[in-house]
Amino acid sequence: MKRALLLALAAFSLLLLACGEDDPAPTEATSAPAEVSTTTTVDATTGTGVTATEIATATAVSEPPTALAETPAPATPSEPVASTYFVATEALPRVRFVTGAGSVELPVEVPPRSEYAIGMSGRTELEDGRGMLFHREDFGQTGFWMKNTHVDLDIAFVDAAGEIVFVTTMLADTLDIHQPGAPYVAAIEVRAGWYAEHGVAAGDRVEYAFDLATTVTD
């Protein structure tokens, strides 16, 4: 009986020693879920708790990134137009009209001379405050007409000294020849009525806010 008790005590001691040993380290690395720090804010209206994660998600949904506005390209007319038709008004060079009351600027298309026969033709509308410049030293008294031009225009003829020698209105789709009574080197077309509205008339001066030599091409 005593021997059996001693054997039982010995077995119990061995069991305690086995339980006290460290567990072996895993032989393969394991991934653990990332810890997420979450705070809770109480909604003053409803009295319910909203976690920071929920607030961030709601903000992202309610405030999407704003897309950059793009300027739409002009529609291509059904008739031939000058290549400068597709240039945005804000990118055009400018001429300045100096009058007795001050000055006013006008953005102008400057097509190559090879497109002078096209000019403003092929258009059914013209943006207000946008014109077209024609320039050559040998214009002499050559005239302009409105064949295939579907919008009324004003035209100012400018001499070599920069003085406006004649201003007139040209009606859409007419074949009348418009020319000044004096030599000129430049003609500037704009929407009909624009010159009168801005007090521009014969005798006023024109200044070019760009280099004619490099801007006017053949």
Query: Residue 191: which CATH number?
Result: 2.60.120.1140
pLDDT in tens, 12-51: 444 444 444 444 333 333 323 333 333 334 343 334 343 3
- Supply the range of the domain harboring residue 156: 83-213
**28 part of a folded domain:** no
Greatest Cα pair distance in the chain: 146
Mean pLDDT of all residues in 129-156: 94
Question: In 3D, which of 156, 106, 105, 104 has the Cα closest to residue 135?
Answer: 156
Least trusted range by pLDDT, from 45-54, 135-144, 161-170? 45-54
**13 part of a folded domain:** no
pTM surpassing 0.85? no
**41 part of a folded domain:** no
CA distance 127 to 189: 12
CA distance 140 to 216: 18
CA distance 70 to 55: 32
Mean pLDDT of all residues in 201-207: 98
**7 part of a folded domain:** no
Structural domain total, the chain: 1
Contact 98, 123 (CB under 8 A): no
**47 part of a folded domain:** no
**30 part of a folded domain:** no
**174 part of a folded domain:** yes
